[in-house]
Amino acid sequence: MKKLLLLYLSVCSFNTYAQEYPRKEINIRNFIQDIVGNPDGGVNEDLFESLYQNYLNPIDLNKVTREQLASVYILSEKQLNSFFSYRQKVGNLLSIYELQAVTDFDLRTIYKLIPFVAVKPDGLSFGTLTDGFGGSNQYLLLRYAQILETKKGFTEPDSRSKVRYEGSPFKLYARYKMYSQKDFSLGFTIEKDEGESQLTDFKSFHIQFQNKGHWKNITLGDYQLQLGQGLVSSAGFYIGKGSETVLTTRRNQLGVRPYTSTLENNFFRGIAATYQLGKFDIIGFYSRIKRDANLVQDKATNLEYASSLLTSGLHRTLSEIADQSILTEENIGTNITYKNKENTLQIGFTALKTNFEKPIQKAEKVYNLYEFSGTENLLMGLHYSYNYQNLNFFGEIARSVSGGIGAVSGVLGSLGKRTDFSVLFRKYDRDFHSFYANGFSENSRNINETGLYLGVKHALTKTWSVAGYFDYFQFPWYRYLVDKQPTSGFDYLGRITYQPSKTLQVFFQFRQENKEENTKITETYVDKKTEKTREVTVIRNRTRRVFIANLDYKISKIWNIQTRASYSTYRFDGQDLTQGFAIAQDVNADLGKLSFSSRLAFFKTDDYDNRQYFYEQDVLYAFTFPAYYQHGIRHYLMVQYKLTRNVDVWVRWARTDLFNGGIFSSGLEEIPLSHRSEVKFQLRLHF
């Protein structure tokens, strides 16, 4: 039947060139859960952003590079080899249905891949901006969100504290983008966070041209650079360790990417261009941007220096407003990458020089002894990627002006049709300084770490599969809230999945993490023959275990349900065990023009250390990933309605209720009630 279907669709393709699969709105939440799982902290907004961009601008299978196709985190090395071998033999694909003819591609893989790829007809590149406007797609997003209960920051000042938020309690977001199949993109983003007084507190803009002769990319405005394994410069979208235990250990060279996120840091503002010269891609870029920083005046010299670079992007109080955009940062650099004719070998060189208007000098703490200080940093790095049969060897080594070295080296491959694996070693010196790095690591930054990662996936049968990883890491120097050096730890994950059809998936997952960290204990001592107690800080091993069970079942074309349960334990050696639990029931429906998503969740945790992270369905280009903790229930309902062919409306309501008189947050964010409610409205105009 499969072969007959392929034959029929292939014949049809000759009459309808580049026939497309009917694409529906993708459920990003489910896709993220498959590759990330439930991390212990929040997920970068760029992760959702990049997947949505790939969905709205699907990759052309007739032009896609190996790095671009691998960056979707769906295909194994064997499947990548099979696809490019097929394309080399038969030429351009006539229809996306031809994927069924690619060796090692099964229907399950194809269903996962289809939302992010397309087969587009060849077209001549436009020569002027006016031509691009004529053949483009455009959309405008407008969003309003607000917490209905009053936070302390929006109340009148009192005798204890006069600090309050200067702006209104609602959050506004506007986004416009124009893009063309002829490789042209233009857009802007405007955002106001709650408590901010300026309606345009954050502004971002870009214009990009691609594939104009030898110029592969010219970008003006805000952009990111994904180079090598991310030790010199890395775009924000990176998963690292998660439920996808193999494919996410490697980064892919994607070059210049427009920046359209609302995260107000980790991007460049200026110009970047990529020029193709034979087998070499040459990238040159320049950036000048104002950074939020905490400026301090030296009492001895009266000179100002920055004690820290601020990354929250929040400008609500007078002190936060005073720190806004007061430090000028300039970056200039280049990347030169060689690719052989067979596209099996890639070698690149990257240089990045960063200059700050005022020197950086962190607080005099022992863990800051090897942190960056001064006004200039120069990074130089070499990266490589080599494909041999079903193996990919990759790595990067970089050196900062301090002399610190950062290095990553790994191999990712397929052992037959059923087994994939990855091995990765990384070493980041305690004085390795790279402001835009985001390579594989246990730490939030690529500094002061050595580690070895092993990952594997194996298909037991067509319906059962297992996956797992083990990661050992060591921190040579002191860390924040860790008063010891060196320290070490490890974590591992195991997952078993049962998927008899595309409508039903069940999985069970277990993860354990062990680290040495500070903890406080009560100590008894004798003072003048009197026995007393005091609280002291000690270093002890900490163990966290997380168990997850998930069922996702598509009952019909309309109805889908998902049940998810999570249980965790947290314990320092010699101390009591604490625990947390959460269970959520989702019901989703697609009624054509009208669709809705809903959830009812119950949670109970002993403390914040056992918080449970659950993804929630949200409006387009937004994500909600709250931490469930304390004791209570949470529910939400989101409705999407297609008013016309070009107009979509979203309305979302969410509320959390705490039992036993709990309150939310602290400081200016405190809500002295046992419930918190949020409303969100969004309008999309597509034309």
| Domain limits, the chain | 1-123
Cβ 279 vs Cβ 346: under 8 Å: no
- Say how many C-beta atoms besides its own lie within 10 A of residue 588's C-beta: 20
How far the first Cα of the chain sits from its last, in Å, is 40
Residue 189, strand partner residues: 175, 204
| CA 548 – CA 352 distance, rounded (Å) | 42
From 63, 276, 54, select the one nearest 182 (Cα to Cα). Answer: 63
| CA 198 – CA 190 distance, rounded (Å) | 11
Q: What would the DSSP string read from start to end of 127-196?
A: -SHHHHHHTEEEEEEEEEEEESSPPGGGSPP-SS-----SS-SEEEEEEEEEEETTTEEEEEEEEE-TT-
| CA 279 – CA 227 distance, rounded (Å) | 17
| CA 496 – CA 549 distance, rounded (Å) | 10
Residue 59 is predicted with a pLDDT of: 81
- Say how many C-beta atoms besides its own lie within 10 A of residue 644's C-beta: 9
- Residue 638 tokens read as 């989101």
Residue 66 is predicted with a pLDDT of: 87
| CA 687 – CA 682 distance, rounded (Å) | 17
Residue 252 is predicted with a pLDDT of: 87
- The CB-side HSE value for 36 (13 A sphere, CA atoms) comes to 23
Residue 26 is predicted with a pLDDT of: 59
| CA 104 – CA 193 distance, rounded (Å) | 47
pLDDT means per 10 residues, the chain with 687 residues, are 43 43 58 61 57 71 86 86 90 87 86 83 50 68 96 92 94 91 84 95 94 91 94 77 87 88 89 96 97 90 91 94 96 96 92 96 92 96 94 96 96 91 97 94 93 96 95 95 93 95 92 94 81 88 95 93 96 95 96 94 95 89 85 96 94 95 89 95 93
The conformation of residue 644, written as its DSSP 8-state character, comes to: E
- Residue 379 tokens read as 């990074």
Q: What's the distance, CA 308 to chain centroid?
A: 24
Distances, alpha carbon 435 to alpha carbons 161, 252, 438, in Å: 36, 19, 9
Q: What would the DSSP string read from start to end of 435-473?
A: TB---S-SSSSSSSEEEEEEEEEEESSSSEEEEEEEEEE
Greatest alpha-carbon span in the chain: 97
- Residue 581 tokens read as 């639990």
- The CB-side HSE value for 498 (13 A sphere, CA atoms) comes to 6
Phi and psi at 601, nearest 5°, equal: -130, 145
Residue 95 is predicted with a pLDDT of: 84
3-class DSSP state of 78: helix
Q: What would the DSSP string read from start to end of 262-331?
A: S--SS-EEEEEEEEEETTEEEEEEEEEEEE-EEEEE-TTT--EEEEEE--S----SHHHHHTTT-EEEEE
Peptide bond before residue 169 is cis, with ω within 30 degrees of 0: no
Sign of CA dihedral 193, 197, 202, 203: positive
Q: Is residue 427 within a helix (H) or strand (E), and if so which, with residue range?
A: strand 419-428
Peptide bond before residue 258 is cis, with ω within 30 degrees of 0: no
| CA 339 – CA 656 distance, rounded (Å) | 53
Residue 424 is predicted with a pLDDT of: 97
Residue 63 is predicted with a pLDDT of: 84
Dihedral, CA of residue 512, residue 513, residue 517 and residue 519, to nearest 10: -20
